[in-house]
Structure 1
Amino acid sequence: MPKLDRLGEPIYALFRMVIGFLFTLHGAASIFGVFGGHRGSGHAVAVAVWPTWWAALIQLICGALVLTGLFTRVAATLASGSMAYAYFVVHQPQQLLPLQNGGEAAAMFAWAFLLIVAAGPGIWSLDSLLGRSPARASTAGAKPAFGLARFARTQSSGS
């Protein structure tokens, strides 16, 4: 899979950016009433209404941070937790499965952000540009995909 190894970092960076962008759009729809508004109502959520407005604020801010790759792990942790909360408090009491309770987006966002927490900002991020993320290790000129540099070092030094 040499092609995947070479493309892993850019694909992951695009994944992080798309997830951040989509999350930002959800927040903007609810806060500003754009793109169809909150849940397609055409309206914005009233300011400071718990938990809807606060969730939208988390979506807007954390989505933008993940999109740009700034404070990526912190923002993704908060975003993942907020989506897990949304799933278990709002959706799961209605029915068990996400397909039945309308919680597909919450479940997918929660897991996508958890992946971003684990993998970090990657390339094409402000964290990387500002030197906030660890440098990628290189083995014979090839970079391990998905931020697994530390794992690759421990495996090669341990055997």
Structure 2
Amino acid sequence: MFIKVEPAEFFMYRVILVFDLEAPNSEDQHVRDYMTECELEPKYQHIGDFEGSNCELMQFGGCYLGRHLGKISEIQRNQVEREIITAEIGLALDDEGDPVVVPDDVREETLAQLVQAFHQPEVFQPNEEGLLEAVLDAPSVRQAARELLAAAG
């Protein structure tokens, strides 16, 4: 999902939510669920080309959607954090010096439990390029994974 905020007439602004229909982002359904829960209806809605992709565009008045932008941003950040931490946990488990072998049939559930355990605000920080990264203690991740596997097996 992409959020575009544009100035409109007389100190107003409009917010356009752009959902890529060909390559949805992980937060798209969560944002749609939030909008349904809050009964948020776009002023205008259509499907068409946006930057070379087939997208659904929803336009809202800034005053109408404004107080919900914080929650939508929170949903988006949470999903990005989950993707980043899942990748970092995968790297920790696959460490060449001390790998944790997670059977394929329990890998997804094990990763989900590890993400739940290690997804803390202090784990995330900007890197040198200003992009968000997760900084984890890899030995702690591997130990937690081994404990989960031992308890399940």
* Greater strand share, structure number: 2
Q: TM-score, normalised by structure 2?
A: 0.29
Between the two structures, name the one with larger relative contact order (CA 8 Å, sep ≥ 6).
1
| CA radius of gyration, larger in | 2
Structure holding more helix per residue: 1
TM-score, normalization: structure 1? 0.28
